[in-house]
Amino acid sequence: MRAAGGVRTGTDLTGLNRARVLMDGEQVVVGVPQPPGGPAPGPPGLTGSGAPGGGPLSLNTATVEQLDTLPGVGPVLAQHIVDYRTEHGGFRSVDELREVTGIGDRRFADLRPLVRP
């Protein structure tokens, strides 16, 4: 945090996982109120909840529980996605999702607009 300029006095860091590794291009907003009409509240520090109106779900940061909310993805497939991410150092593109066991062409076509690397 110091490299980014530090924390402003009075900023609430409760719920912020400062040990989580960030992916290139990821934005974490801290201490800023939710704008009206913004995405539904989710875990602090994450953007792109995957909920309607919340933007695409990040394959690199989503939990098994969040992935399980995607259409056609249950807890087993969600775990396969997390396992692939762990084994390969994350997703560099959405197309890599095709390499996950249990994701065929049809399921990939359904998921593609709902996720991002």
> Higher confidence at residue 6 or residue 73?
73
Tokens 């709902």 correspond to 114
Q: Where are the alpha helices (DSSP H) in 18-70?
A: 64-67
Q: Is the pLDDT of residue 45 over 70?
A: no
Q: Which helix (H) or strand (E) holds 57?
A: strand 57-58
Q: List, for residues 56-107, the tens digit of each pLDDT value.
A: 999 999 999 999 999 999 999 999 999 999 999 999 999 999 999 999 999 9
Q: Band of the pLDDT at 11, cuts 50, 70, 90?
A: confident
SS3 label, residue 115: strand
The pTM score is 0.57
Span 36-59, mean pLDDT?
53
> Higher confidence at residue 64 or residue 15?
64
Provide the pLDDT for residue 85: 95
Residues 90 and 60 sit within 8 Å (Cβ to Cβ)? yes
